[in-house]
Each structure stands twice: as C-alpha cells, then as structure tokens.
Structure 1
C-alpha cells in the first residue's frame, strides 16, 4: 500500500492518509477483509506520529471504511460500494452548491464557473 504524504498540501496528514486509503478501496486495490498495516508500522513507514495515523484510522472507521478489532488490527470493512459512492457524490453536491452560492455573490457567470471547474478537474 503506497501512501504519499505531501508537505505542500493544505490537508492535514491524517486527512491525506484517509483519503488515499478511500481511493484504494474505491479503485478495488483494497478488498473487503484485507488487513491494513498496524498503526505503529504505518506511522513508522511514513515517518509520522502514531497519533496522526490513529486519527486517520479512526476517521476511516467512523465513516464505515474499516473495522478495527482490538488486539487484532484494522481491516477493510464489508460494504456496498454503490452506497459509498452515493455518499461521496452527496458530499460533492454539497461542495458544488457552496461554490455556486459563492459565485453568485460575485456575479460570476455560469460559463466562467464551468471553465473554472474544468480547469481544476483537468489539473488534478
């Protein structure tokens, strides 16, 4: 499992870890029941605090992506990928709604907003 931490990212490290693990799940690179590295081993591998790694795992568990068994480790949770995808789409819709509202405040035309979205999408 390759996780890359970016010091130039605005996202906290635990968010970067959680986001990358979610991507691996959505892409099918991590499957139901597959074990994750222990919190200690991942923190050692990434050269970060155990607390930061624990926070990432807690976030993933709270969102239903992983299950943690005390004394045994953390595993990819059994889940319906379609439900997870729908939840992510809902979050995207909420963020896009915020962007639309902000663009209306400054009278940004829809075409300009679409252009901005396309540029951002193509540069990610």
Structure 2
C-alpha cells in the first residue's frame, strides 16, 4: 500500500490517509482480506502520530472499508462489486457538491458550470 501525505495540504493528515486507503481499495490495489500495516507501523512510515493513524483506521472501519481484529490486525473488509460502486458514486457526489458550492461562491451560473463540465468531459476525446 502506497500512501503519500502532504503537510502543506489543507486537508487533515488523517483525512489524507482515509482518502488514499479508499482509492487503493477502489483501484483494486487493496483487495478483500489484505492486511494493512499496524497503526504504529504506518505512523512510523508516514512520520505522523499514532493518534492520526488510529483516527483514520477507526473512521475507515466505521464506514465499512476495514475490519480490525484484536491481536491479528486490520484488514480490508469484503466488498461486493455493486456496494463498492455505490461507495465510489457517493464519494463522487460529495466531491461534486463541493465543486458546485465553490462555483456558487465564485458567482458561476448553473449554465456556466455545465459548460465547464462539458469542456472538461469532452476535452480528452
């Protein structure tokens, strides 16, 4: 599992860990049953406090992405394909909501926002 965090980011460190673990699961790099490093080991690797990794793991477990077993470790929870897709859509919707709010703060109209989406969506074609 490859996690890179930035102390310069506005996003809290624990949130950066959460998002990157989710991306590793969504991409298939982490699969059901894969073991994650211990909280202490990950904290040491990332040069963050154990409290930070503990918070990230607990949140991921609460959301159903991870399962922890005392004495055995933390593992990727079993996910059915349609559930995983639903989670990805939910994450996308959250990001989209933030984008729309930013557009509104900038004074963009709905049509201007849609035009920007069209440009970016078709830009790679």
- Normalising by structure 2, what TM-score? 0.80
User: CA separation in 2, counterparts of 1:90 and 1:31?
Assistant: 20
- Secondary structure of the residue aligned to 1:87 is helix
Let me know the Cα RMSD of the aligned residues. Answer: 2.8
1:88-103 matched pairs, under 5 angstroms: 88-93=88-93, 96-97=96-97, 100=100
Q: How many residues align?
A: 122
Q: List runs of 5+ in structure 1 lacking aligned partners.
A: none
Aligned: 1:24 with 2:27: no
Aligned: 1:35 with 2:38: no
- Normalising by structure 1, what TM-score? 0.80
User: CA separation in 2, counterparts of 1:63 and 1:75?
Assistant: 13
**Aligned residues of 2:68 and 2:75 also touching (Cα < 8 A):** yes
**Aligned residues of 1:26 and 1:81 also touching (Cα < 8 A):** no
Structure 1 residue 113, shift from structure 2 partner:
1.0
